[in-house]
Amino acid sequence: MAERKTPAAPGAPTWLEALPVTQWMTTPAVTIRAEAPVRAAVELMRTRRIRHLPVVDAAGRLVGIVTDRDLRQMVFDPSVQERLGELGEALRARTVGEVMTWGVITVRPATGIREAARLMHEQKIGALPVVEDGRVVGMLTEHDVLRAFEHLVRERVASVRPLAADQAVAEIYEYGFPEPAWGEPWENEAGPGH
């Protein structure tokens, strides 16, 4: 889904173009099969230092996602609590398919980073599998989104000017994203190099 460029109100920031998530996603995506033991998912997430693991079927198509939260909730599951003395055995007996989330919110590689960030915020999720033809081609995490926005602000802020004075804050600032003429280099209002 491509981002729409909407006319900005006078003085409002202007976004130049939709930046696709494919520029910011983590690749290759680490995945696991639904029939894998939970213990394998825990180990994979720990060694790769990830919190979200897309779950795929035998054909490599996305069927769900397992998160560190899913795994923590599983430990407090009543059926696991009954066998607390045999916790190791209970963890070995459970599969990823038993603890994963089946309904997965995804984006396509061409989805704009702003749209992906909005979706993550609204749905209160920390990562989005990036899917093309049913297969996971990458993962977009909160870290990736923050990295993208940090880059955008660093590279594209052309001016900073106070909007209004406030007693609590000396000055409130607006970040401007003016659209230069085609082929014109980026400059801030103070001139090149400032």
First to last CA, the chain: 37
Phi, psi of 71 (to 5 degrees): -70, -40
Helix residue ranges, H only, the chain: 38-48, 68-75, 78-82, 87-93, 96-99, 113-123, 142-156
3 state SS of 159: strand
Calculate the average pLDDT of the chain: 76
- pTM given for the model: 0.65
pLDDT greater at residue 167 or residue 53: 53
pLDDT of residue 95 exceeding 50, the answer is: yes
User: What residues have CB less than 8 Å from 165, skipping those under 6 apart?
Assistant: 171, 172
Per residue in 122-172, pLDDT (tens digit) is 999 999 999 999 999 999 999 999 999 888 877 766 655 555 555 555 554
CATH of domain 21-151: 3.10.580.10
